[in-house]
Copies of this chain bind each other. A is one copy, B any other.
Amino acid sequence: MSKTFRLVISCPDRVGIVAAVSQYLNERNGSIVEANHHTDPEQKWFFMRHVIDAETMSVDIDTFRKEFSEIASKFEMDWFINSSEEKPKVMLMATKESHCLNDLLHRWHTGELQCDIVGVIANHEDLRSMVEWYNIPYHCINVPKDDKMPAFQAIEKAIDESGADTIVLARYMQIFPEYLCEKYRHRVINIHHSFLPSFIGAKPYHQAAVRGVKLIGATCHYVTADLDAGPIIEQDVIRVRHSHSATDMVRLGKDIEKLVLSRGLRYHIEDRVLVHGNKTVVFAQ
């Protein structure tokens, strides 16, 4: 796969945005590999993502950034451009459950996820051996019940030292403090093991078993200070029957959690997710 640029834009909707952007690209000979547009008619907001063949462009990414900022300011754009050669840096976090972690590490190892995994932070030692097989640094940071703040400061330090731009809570069973939710806004991805907004909080499969639902699900979302209420990136469900106990649901649900989290992370690192208010635009392939 050759080098590409990803240009991602959101701005108030008005006539002329596409013309201005495509004219700019055309004048620099940019060949568009993939293009997505969305207009939200209620919010009157416009969203756009382009993948451009970098080899065809007559300017480099720094010149692009300089030149394009003029168009961007004219249209009040919230925008960025990324190169496929600068891979996102991802920090994974987990507790003891290994299914999501194993799934993400395997996808990364086989080249399916275009990112660097810069480390794993866990509050237990259980997953160290698995992680170290992949030659990835393992940070075990215990989070004591009665005094969590020093632990989260250590976590913050580990994240910042790693240079991670994305943090994935791969069944990390601790609630992120509000100040970290804000510091890493729209950069912390969680997998919740229910079809939100059903069954917020603890033990969602047990809640599902008690309610007698016929489908269980999982939700990948950005973490905000409001528990399990952040912008949803991806969801999916699986059918259950009366013959499935809460324990069976835990087992069946793992398959959905893995799929939903890996899809959500993939969308995120490929710059396919644009957040607006508490909702996402996801330009899936």
Asked whether B35 lies within 8 Å of A15 as measured between CB atoms, the reply is: no
Q: How far is the CA of A99 from the CA of B15 in the complex (A)?
A: 39
Asked whether B197 lies within 8 Å of A215 as measured between CB atoms, the reply is: no
Asked whether A32 lies within 8 Å of B37 as measured between CB atoms, the reply is: yes
Q: Which of B133, B215, B244 contacts A237 (CB 8 A)?
A: B215
Contacts of A279 in B (CB 8 A): 212, 242
**Given contact pairs A15-B29, A56-B15, A278-B212, A112 touches B195 in the complex (Cβ within 8 A):** no
Q: Which of A20-40 contact B (CB under 8 A)?
A: 22-23, 25-26, 29-40
Asked whether B110 lies within 8 Å of A106 as measured between CB atoms, the reply is: no
Closest Cβ neighbor of A47 among chain B residues? B242
Asked whether B241 lies within 8 Å of A214 as measured between CB atoms, the reply is: no
Closest Cβ neighbor of A264 among chain B residues? B214
Asked whether B38 lies within 8 Å of A242 as measured between CB atoms, the reply is: yes
A119 at the interface (CB under 8 A from B): no
Tally of contact residues, A, Cβ under 8 A: 66
Closest Cβ neighbor of A215 among chain B residues? B235
**Given contact pairs A18-B22, A42-B245, A197 touches B214 in the complex (Cβ within 8 A):** no
Q: How far is the CA of A243 from the CA of B234 in the complex (A)?
A: 14
**Given contact pairs A15-B26, A98-B106, A280-B242, A234 touches B214 in the complex (Cβ within 8 A):** yes
Interface string of A100-123 (1 = CB under 8 A from B): 001000100010100000000000
A270 at the interface (CB under 8 A from B): no
Asked whether B15 lies within 8 Å of A19 as measured between CB atoms, the reply is: no
Q: How far is the CB of A252 from chain B (nearest CB, A)?
A: 9
A248 at the interface (CB under 8 A from B): yes
Asked whether B39 lies within 8 Å of A32 as measured between CB atoms, the reply is: yes
**Given contact pairs A15-B30, A106-B99, A279-B242, A236 touches B213 in the complex (Cβ within 8 A):** no
Q: Which of B16, B133, B195 contacts A198 (CB 8 A)?
A: B195
**Given contact pairs A18-B32, A32-B18, A285 touches B244 in the complex (Cβ within 8 A):** yes
14 contacts between A and B (CB under 8 A): A15-B29, A15-B30, A18-B32, A34-B39, A40-B242, A102-B102, A129-B133, A196-B198, A197-B198, A211-B278, A212-B232, A241-B282, A242-B280, A248-B285
Partner-B contacts on A (CB < 8 A): 15-16, 18-19, 22-23, 25-26, 29-42, 56, 98-99, 102, 106, 110, 112, 129-130, 133, 195-199, 211-215, 217, 231-237, 241-245, 248, 251, 255, 259, 278-282, 284-285
List 17 other contacts, CB 8 Å, given A215-B237, A248-B285: A18-B22, A18-B25, A19-B22, A22-B22, A32-B37, A32-B39, A34-B37, A40-B242, A102-B106, A129-B133, A195-B195, A197-B211, A211-B232, A212-B232, A212-B280, A215-B217, A255-B259
